[in-house]
Amino acid sequence: MTDTDILLTLRVDRPANGGTAVGRADDGRAVFVRGAIPGEQVTARIVEEKPRFLTAETVDVLEPAPQRIDELCAAAAHGAGCCDQSFITPDHVRGLKAEVLRDVLGRIGGFDAARLDRLLPGEAVRALDGGATGWRILTRLAVDADGRPGLHERGGAGIVTGDPCAQNDPLMVADLGDGYAPGGDLAITLDDTGTRHIVEIGPVPAAAAGGGRPPRGGPERGGSSRGRSRDRRAAQQRRRHREAPRPQRVVAGAPTAGHRVGARRWEIPVAGFWQGHRAAPDTYAATVTDMVRSALGDAAPGVCWDLYGGAGVFAAALTDTLAAGSVHVVESDPGALEAAEHTFTTDTGIHLHRGEVARLIADLPAPQVVVLDPPRTGAGPAVIAQLADAAPEVIAHVGCDVGRFARDLGLYGRHGYTPQRIAGFDAFPLTHHLEAIAVLVRSTSRH
Ligand SMILES: C[S@@+](CC[C@H](N)C(=O)[O-])C[C@H]1O[C@@H](n2cnc3c(N)ncnc32)[C@H](O)[C@@H]1O
């Protein structure tokens, strides 16, 4: 970051991936402006300057858009990095996400406009049940130097305390108090009965921390070899930080929380992975099974894979809704698999495999259907090449980073897989994030 005092006055005219609005500088370079709504004229401070583009932060709104509102999130209004779109009406944010999804699928995925009209019929990004606020039932708070829980500051290393984030179900964060271990985290979940569970996770041991909290955010784009080696060091530090063993203490409730999807129930570690939006697991499970059914016809699928399967939500849906012959779940997190083992004790058709997807799938029986729900980094070229070698008839791909999702869809195309349908979900209201699901079928043509 260069962080300058230089101000620009410009009109922004379209949304970009990452929650910014794009305008043009006098020299023709694109300017990605945070805190602005397409259509507005703003004064913005340049934060970063690159040969081909600039990033900037709105400091004054000269002509506000009709969709500009008082911030819905008090924490974001005080500098927290949680709700970067809380100054825009939630319906309009959803419309902007739909534009971004189409744009990114076109630019990165390589799909033309006519194709996108067919793949994304109707509303490209749909709302989940519930409103734009209070939808989150699972969160992670950071603990500041005075032992108070709060949210990471937007673009900085500080922690914003005292103001609630509007995403949270208020029950989750009421009366948390203080006195927690500085530098640690609080994992908080509401279970399916509305009971709150809180687990304190101690700070990262000094040896793994490498001097405090890890650098936030991803690597910079492009840059010098010095910049790249700094990015590599930062990435290594983030990995060490993430993987370091940390002490846990139950503050309220239990170390696991019950979550229900359809007729199944899981006991998930409070500090483990579960979808943040209370309506997300049911919505995604129903979408994936609908998509697979429409691609396969009414025949029950034979062998299925549920990759990056967590506790096996999709394995359960494939079994219960589509009567799949067998499902192989691959997941690296032992806590998620322990939860899966309990839920699937009597399911002889569901097989659990602990480890890395890239390492394990070569030894699984050939699949007819693959469902995969990778982390934000997406599946990437190596795993997609392995999947194509396994030659399933149908692939259902779930992605929470729209850029990586589009890249992965483009990669499938090179291996002879064609998307039949894509659905976007506004699973993170008040933010620029969205979830997308695509179903692809094997074909010989390329897009
Ligand atoms: C986005 S979550 C999806 C979980 C699950 N499908 C669900 O909806 O609950 C991604 C999961 O992938 C797991 N994971 C991440 N990298 C992995 C890898 N290389 N191999 C296997 N599992 C991985 C994580 O532990 C996490 O549970």
How is 349-377 classified by DSSP, letter by letter?
A: TEEEEES-HHHHGGGSPPPSEEEE---TT
Range of the domain at 54: 1-68
357 within ligand 1 shell (Cβ under 6 A) = yes
Complex ipTM, two decimals?
0.99
Pocket test for ligand 1, best of 243, 332, 371, 404 (most atoms within 8 A of CB): 332
pLDDT at residue 204, rounded to an integer: 87
Q: How many residues does the chain have?
A: 447
Pocket test for ligand 1, best of 189, 274, 331, 357 (most atoms within 8 A of CB): 331
Domain boundary among 187, 222, 257: 257
Q: How far apart are CA 292 and CA 296, in angstroms?
A: 6
Share of the chain above pLDDT 70, in %: 91
Q: In the chain, which residues have pLDDT < 70? A: 1-2, 208-228, 230-235, 238-242, 444-447
List, as residue ranges, the binding site for S-adenosyl-L-methionine. Answer: 275, 308, 331, 373
Cα–ligand 1 centroid distance for 190 (angstroms): 21
Amino acid, single-letter form, for residue 284: Y
Cβ count near 130 (within 10 Å): 14
Backbone dihedral angles phi then psi of residue 334, each to the nearest 5 degrees: -60, -35
310 within ligand 1 shell (Cβ under 6 A) = yes
* CATH number of the domain bearing residue 297: 3.40.50.150
H-helix or E-strand spanning residue 341: helix 334-343
* CA 375 remoteness from chain centre: 7
> Please, where are the H alpha helices in 195-279?
206-209, 225-243
Cα–ligand 1 centroid distance for 213 (angstroms): 24
Question: What b/e readout covers 323-355, taking b as 16+ CB neighbours within 10 angstroms?
Answer: ebebbbbbbbbebbbbbbeebbeebebbbbbee
Domain boundary among 214, 237, 257: 257
pLDDT at residue 151, rounded to an integer: 98
Domain boundary among 21, 47, 68: 68
Residue identifier of the C-alpha nearest atom 27 of ligand 1? 310
53 within ligand 1 shell (Cβ under 6 A) = no
Tokens of 156: 């900085």
Instruction: Looking at the structure, tell me whether residues 248 and 293 fall in a common domain.
Output: no
> Please, where are the H alpha helices in 17-133?
74-77, 90-107, 113-119
The answer to whether residue 424 is domain-embedded is: yes
